[in-house]
């Protein structure tokens, strides 16, 4: 008998769509593991910057990706014992992540690391290519999005909450650029797969989005326990 792998829920979508928050809450509700794949691209960008490696140098960046000495410890992300949890969340790190993510060799170097998160009882993974490349056999694939204006507003509020002064227009501009880069790259471009369900959260609360994903998952697995 072929042993089946732990189930995966793949949640993909553009920047600031809220997919990370939704994915984490779905994972909590099901008692599943959680993979924030964007954090790996952010880490590659951060290490590259700290080591003076150009964001265009695909070969050296793939080396960084293959050798990331990262430890996920509870809510903390550590690189060689240094806490980079906040450091990788800056807008600058997001831009660096999006730049390193265009390189196919970097993406390949991160594949095994991402797949290692697939453990019992299951995994919720969020990113751009969870359903298309990393976990093509995911039990449920969701494409979670919102209008770019709504996403810019969410990011604005998020930054304000952290005490960071921001203005809406540059955030909107930045998101448009990030969307364009993520959608137009040839390696694993961001798009809704034909087997992914669309979840437009523009006018939806986080709780409702979480509930929708859980309802889809229950229907998919015929599991009424959760």
Which positions touch ligand CDP (CB under 6 A)? 15-16, 37-39, 41-42, 94, 97-98, 101, 127-129, 178, 182
Shorter beta-carbon distance to ligand CDP: residue 96 or 204: 96
**96's tokens:** 């660096």
Selection from 73, 91, 90 nearest residue 82 by Cα = 73
Q: How far is the CB of 95 from ligand CDP (least distance, A)?
A: 8
Residue 136 CA neighbour count, 13 Å, CB half? 5
Residue whose entry in the numeric block shows the structure tokens 């995994």: 123
Nearest distance from C-beta of residue 60 to ligand CDP, angstroms: 18
Looking at the Cβ atoms of 8 and 97, the one nearer to ligand CDP is 97
Is the separation of the CB atoms in 183 and 143 below 8 Å?
no
Q: Residue 30 Cβ, how far from ligand CDP at the closest point, in Å?
A: 21
Nearest to 18 by CA among 226, 221, 204, 177: 204
Could you tell me where the DSSP H helices lie in the chain?
A: 19-30, 37-50, 58-66, 91-100, 104-109, 111-115, 148-161, 168-184, 206-221
Closer residue to ligand CDP (CB): 6 or 189? 189
Question: Which residue's CB is nearer to ligand CDP, number 42 or number 212?
Answer: 42
Smallest distance, ligand CDP to C-beta of residue 42, A = 5
Residue of this chain nearest to ligand CDP (CB atom): 38
């Amino acid at each position: 008998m072929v042993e089946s792998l732990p189930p995966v829920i793949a949640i993909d979508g553009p920047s600031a769509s809220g997919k990370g928050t939704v994915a984490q809450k779905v994972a909590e509700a099901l008692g599943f593991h959680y993979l924030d794949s964007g954090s790996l691209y952010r880490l590659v960008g951060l290490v590259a910057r700290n080591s003076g490696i150009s964001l265009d140098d695909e070969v050296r960046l793939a080396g960084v990706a293959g050798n990331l000495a990262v430890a996920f410890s509870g809510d903390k992300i550590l690189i060689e014992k240094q806490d980079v949890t906040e450091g990788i969340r800056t807008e600058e790190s997001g831009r660096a992540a999006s730049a390193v993510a265009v390189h196919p060799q970097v993406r390949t170097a991160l594949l095994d690391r991402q797949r290692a998160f697939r453990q019992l009882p299951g995994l919720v993974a969020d990113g751009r290519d969870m359903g298309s490349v990393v976990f093509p056999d995911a039990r449920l694939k969701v494409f979670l999005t919102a209008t770019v204006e709504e996403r810019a507003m969410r990011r604005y509020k998020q930054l304000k909450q952290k005490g960071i002064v921001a203005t809406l227009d540059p955030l909107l501009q930045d998101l448009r650029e990030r969307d364009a880069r993520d959608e137009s790259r040839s390696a694993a471009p961001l798009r809704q797969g034909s087997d992914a369900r669309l979840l437009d959260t523009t006018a939806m609360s986080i709780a409702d989005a979480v509930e929708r994903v859980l309802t889809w998952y229950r229907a998919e697995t015929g599991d009424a326990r959760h």
